[in-house]
């Protein structure tokens, strides 16, 4: 099953660099590498499902309707209990090429349940990254204080300085 870190890698696979949106999953070999690193098979069908799941989750977290795409990814998926030495384990019943995309959606659902309100887009409107706020106060606003946070604070400071009349 995918973890929070894999979820964040997927959500943050479309950063803005020099003012232009990039897609780190555009390169099939790179994406297949990510998929294999997380227990996937690689291949065209799996890439398609992963991109669909990622785009739907990004939309959902940005406040855009994503339900039809999520419904498509999850169609026909079942969890089946199986006895084990330690109790009961739940296994996904899903076509192999769709398994990793389904796990991505389930990792997102798990974060939404365990950490409500802590997964959100960066507060910088020019940024396309997401953050998972683990702070006690749940007040993080930026994907990175070093980049987005400092940039926005500097802009606000400059705007205030321009508005303040200079003494003569």
Model pTM?
0.85
Q: Does residue 12 surpass a pLDDT of 70?
A: yes
**Residue 64's pLDDT is what?**
94
What would the mean pLDDT of 108-132 be, rounded to a whole number?
Answer: 93
30-34, 94-98, 123-127, range with the lowest pLDDT: 123-127
Mention every residue, 6+ apart, whose C-beta is less than 8 A from residue 54: 10, 11, 13, 14, 25, 104
- For residue 107, what pLDDT is reported? 97
Angstrom distance (rounded) from CA 6 to CA 163: 44
Tell me: pLDDT of 113 over 70: yes
What per-residue confidence (pLDDT) applies to 154? 53
Per residue in 121-166, pLDDT (tens digit) is 998 888 889 999 998 999 888 887 767 855 555 555 455 656 666 6
From residue 40, give the alpha-carbon distance in Å to each of 35, 53, 121: 5, 14, 27
Written as six digits, the tokens of 14 are 């479309």
Q: Note the pLDDT tens digit of each residue in 38-75.
A: 999 999 999 999 999 999 999 999 999 999 999 999 99
More confident residue, 165 or 7: 7
- The structural domain count of the chain equals 1
Residue where the block lists tokens 């802590």? 118
Q: How many helices (H) and strands (E) does the chain have?
A: 6, 6
45 within some domain: yes
Identify the CA nearest to 52 among candidates 64, 70, 29: 70
What is the reported pLDDT for 123? 87
Please determine, for residue 6, whether its predicted confidence score (pLDDT) is greater than 90.
yes
Domain of residue 41 covers 4-163
Q: What is the pLDDT of residue 141?
A: 84
pLDDT value at residue 124: 86
168 in any annotated domain = no
In this prediction, residues 88-96 reach a mean pLDDT of 95
> In CATH, what number is assigned to the domain containing residue 129?
1.10.3300
**80 lies in a domain?**
yes
Pair of tokens at residue 47: 């890439």
């Amino acid at each position: 099953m995918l973890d929070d870190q894999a979820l964040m890698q997927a959500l943050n696979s479309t950063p803005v660099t020099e003012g232009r949106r990039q897609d780190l999953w555009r390169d099939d070999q790179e994406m297949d590498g990510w998929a294999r690193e997380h227990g996937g098979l690689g291949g065209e069908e799996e890439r398609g499902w992963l991109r669909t799941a990622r785009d739907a989750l990004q939309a959902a977290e940005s406040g855009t309707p994503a339900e039809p795409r999520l419904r498509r990814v999850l169609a026909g998926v079942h969890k089946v209990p199986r006895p084990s030495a330690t109790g009961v384990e739940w296994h996904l019943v899903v076509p192999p090429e769709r398994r990793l995309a389904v796990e991505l959606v389930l990792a997102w659902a798990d974060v939404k349940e365990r950490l409500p309100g802590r997964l959100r887009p960066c507060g910088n409107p020019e940024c396309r990254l997401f953050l998972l706020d683990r702070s006690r106060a749940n007040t993080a606003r930026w994907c990175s204080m070093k980049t987005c946070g400092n940039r926005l604070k500097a802009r606000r400071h400059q705007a205030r300085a321009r508005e303040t009349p200079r003494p003569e």
